[in-house]
Amino acid sequence: MSDDTRQGFDPEPVGQRFVVCGAGALARRLVTELMDRYGVPVTVVLPSLTDSHAPDIAEFGPETGAAVPRPNLVVAHRLTAEVLERAGVRDAAAVALVGDDDVTNVDIAMIVRELAPEVRLVVRLFNAVLGEGVATMLGDCVVLSGSEIAAPAFVAAALGEDAPAYLRLRDDDLVRIASRAALDPAADVVCGLADTTGPEPIALPADQEAADLVLVRTYGRRPPPPTRRRPRLLRAAGLVFGRRLRLALTGMVALFAVGSAVLAYARGLNLAEAGYLTLLTTLGGANADPAAPLMAKVTEVVLVVAGVALLPTVTALMVDSLVHARLAVAAGGLIDPVDDHVIVVGLGNIGTRVIEELHSFGIEVVAVDRAESARGVAVARELGLPVIVGDATRPETLRAASVQTCRALVVLTSDDVTNLETALTGRSAHRAHYTAPDTTVEPLRVVLRLFDDGFAQRVQRTFGIHQSRSVSYLAAPAFAAAMMGRQVIDTISVGRRVLLVADLPVGAGSDIEGRYCRDLSQPGAVQVIAMRTGRADQTIWALPERRPLVRTDRLIVVATRAGLAALLPRTVPSADPPPLAAAPPMRLLGPPPVHPTTHPTEPEPA
């Protein structure tokens, strides 16, 4: 049972139904989030009961073991207005469109908006430009990208502590995730995120000093990415002058040198004159000279015959090398040796996001996919990254990507077994490169995309591969929170678990209005890290001790999935809120005031 489940929170059910359209891994995780974490009824629209994760959705059972009914299923091969109406979108609180195709999701979103102008839409889109337009034109619509949410977790796992992991806050609010051991003692630590020293990470521990993974405020501007090395014109020289062409050219040079020496001796010429005569003779420009010495005649005949044999061969090899080099460069292949790079296998949605983020950090990347038509192939070539098109489960493909000298192998195909096979192949090829018995080989850092948690745990125990992530597991909480009407700013990966960074408004007359920030933080569940005031929209990191929350405030919290699900109902405005009372001014200087009826060492009651 996960840390989130152990907290014992009972999310407050919401009366309205939620509709999810999709049958993939994200749809399955999203149904679990909505029903298991938030306790809401869900209708799922599936193309069939056998495609993708549809059987698992149909047999849904809550992780907590609570008596929650199964989702209502609507099966339709093609989504039309009639099908969506039968699914109940007119009366739904929110509709999530989480199919794999952007165009299909946009088309369904427009149909839903025609049927229900006020319903909240949560749309999964990869294309950022398309997503911005859809969010603008469709009213109450949130556009999210599962790959964009999950990519930082894969990058952080690949780079370890070298990953510059910043939260996606406003430009003037720079907060990054860091290891406490790597920090300066004067660093401004916002809160402890997790204690990862044990076999299982402890999220938001009660003892903040025990957390080795922390949030740190960074002042100034976000550092620009390192300047990348510009390609050189001679980087393809190794491809042009291949082994066969080098041997042929070496043979011609040797023939020229020997011929020049012999002619210089036989005719009594200096080396310059002999070289000139040898060159013309080899190229077929010799003139017959009956009076020449016998040695000179034999040498000239040998040079002519050798030239006739070698010149076409060298010409053919040169043309062949140039064509192959041009094709390799045009295809974006690896044209010079690299080391300390990251190999990304699988250039789908998540693979594309990962190579873009690694490139933005100035990391050398080699991209691999078995299909030339994969989405990320064109993106990688546009970024100037080398691309290997081939089967990554074959050792020669990974050796072509220089797996023996890479710093990490990130495997992101959509098949768990293929990912594991590729990881084991890459690890073997990396280890086989170091054959000296006295050589200490650092194990290859491998990051896998694995959907099934049970399979991931068995892989960890059996093969010792500890870095695995699930795109749907990382993204589903953000989609679920968006359906509940709350904004998830970012997600933080802690192993295969996820913490959510959310921006929560204090609802008028809600349960938290009039309370203090310290009352909302609960170890293992929720940590309030900042608040934003409605008057100046300033982010206050030093949480006020004596100022109660008012309805114009917003809270920035880090929470587990269960913790956020429990906190959300407390932020909902009441049906008949009392008039807004003026908030007491914040004291920026001096000690906090002491309540006259309260002992100075005791906290003021809420």
Cβ atoms of 30 and 96 closer than 8 Å: yes
Asked if residue 493 is part of any domain, the answer here is no
Confidence (pLDDT) at 11: 39
- For the cut 70, the answer to whether the pLDDT of residue 590 exceeds it is no
Q: Does 400 lie in the same domain as 351? A: yes
CATH code of residue 387: 3.40.50.720
Q: Which residue has better confidence, 11 or 87?
A: 87
User: Among 438, 469, 500, which residue terminates a domain?
Assistant: 469
Q: What pairs with residue 492 in β-bridges?
A: 499
- For the cut 70, the answer to whether the pLDDT of residue 324 exceeds it is no
Q: Does 140 lie in the same domain as 1? A: yes
Cβ atoms of 266 and 296 closer than 8 Å: yes
User: Among 144, 173, 207, which residue terminates a domain?
Assistant: 144
Residue-wise pLDDT for 350-367, tens only, equals 999 999 989 988 889 999
Asked if residue 305 is part of any domain, the answer here is yes
Confidence of residue 326 (pLDDT cuts 50, 70, 90): low
Q: Does 346 lie in the same domain as 317? A: no
Give me the chain's average pLDDT, please: 80
Q: Does 352 lie in the same domain as 282? A: no
Asked if residue 186 is part of any domain, the answer here is no
**pTM > 0.85:** no
Q: What pairs with residue 449 in β-bridges?
A: 469
Cβ atoms of 146 and 471 closer than 8 Å: yes
% of the chain with per-residue pLDDT over 90: 28
Domain that holds residue 40: 1-144
Count of the separate structural domains present in the chain: 3
Q: Which residue has better confidence, 333 or 399?
A: 399
Q: Does 456 lie in the same domain as 425? A: yes
Residue-wise pLDDT for 429-483, tens only, equals 888 766 555 555 578 899 999 988 788 888 888 888 878 888 898 889 889 988 9
Pairwise CA distance, residues 244 & 127, whole Å: 46
Q: What pairs with residue 387 in β-bridges?
A: 367
Token pair belonging to 277? 């005569």
Q: Is 542 helix (H, G, I), strand (E, B) or coil?
A: coil
Asked if residue 167 is part of any domain, the answer here is no
> Which has the minimum average pLDDT: 171-180, 442-451, 509-518, 579-588?
579-588
Confidence (pLDDT) at 440: 57
Residue 399 CA: distances (Å) to CA of 73, 321, 336, 337, 429: 47, 21, 13, 11, 7
